[in-house]
Amino acid sequence: MQKLTRDDLYSLEKYSELRDEFRNQVLSHKRNRRVELGTNAALYFEDRLTMQYQVQEMLRIERIFEAAGINDELEAYNPLIPDGSNWKATFMVEFPDVEERRAMLGQLIGIENKVYVQVEGFDRVFAIADEDLERSDEKKTSAVHFMRFELSPEQVDALKSGAALTAGIDHDNYVVEIPALPENIRQSLIGDLA
């Protein structure tokens, strides 16, 4: 999947005109890219469109219009665009109550290394997490992690031929498996693969 360049972005003025329409388009697109992993965790699979939205929002919020600042945002978010043989996702641990979240993050240390996808007929593919910086320590994990799932050419071919896709977490304190992702999500993710 092609990375974003400055030419792909709207100016701040143009984005303000298009923002509502673009936001609705992205929210609709994201419905096919969210995988709930039980009641308190989710994977949000990223792609070029979700990252364009993220960059546009950051430029708007920070009022960035100079080339250097725009390039900094592109450098920060382009690594989250899939490369054709992988999926990239934001993993979120979601406990609404602050105290419960704090306690659970202490019990879920290392969860980012226990998140997986599995193509029917193949072994689990565990996430490569937080390549940019460490988000866990000996006391707790973070509520947000960035992940990459690397697939073999055989797994990609199997998916394109109709193989089911499973996702889950295999952590001592949080075990869940989604036996077959809905077809709309499976098809959306296949679109990320070359």
Cα–Cα dist 76/87, whole Å: 17
* Other Cβ atoms within 10 Å of 140 Cβ, number: 17
Structure letter (DSSP) for residue 1:
-
Cα–Cα dist 169/109, whole Å: 13
pLDDT of residue 194: 86
| 170 half-sphere exposure, CB direction, 13 A CA radius | 10
Domain ranges across the chain: 1-31+48-81, 83-194
Pick from 75, 81, 38: nearest CA to 174: 38
Structure letter (DSSP) for residue 4:
P
Contact indicator for 10, 56 with CB cutoff of 8 Å: yes
Strands 115-119 and 174-178: unpaired
**Per-residue tokens: 194:** 């070359």
**If DSSP states are collapsed to H, E and C, what string results for 113-145?**
HCEEEEECCCCEEECEECCCCCCCCCCCCCCEE
pLDDT of residue 134: 67
pLDDT of residue 139: 87
Each residue's pLDDT tens digit in the chain (194 positions)? Answer: 799 999 999 999 999 999 999 999 999 999 999 999 999 999 999 999 999 999 999 999 999 999 999 999 999 999 999 999 999 999 999 999 999 999 999 999 999 999 999 999 999 999 999 877 666 777 899 999 999 999 999 999 999 999 999 999 999 999 999 999 999 999 999 999 98
pLDDT of residue 133: 64
Backbone dihedral angles phi then psi of residue 36, each to the nearest 5 degrees: -75, 130
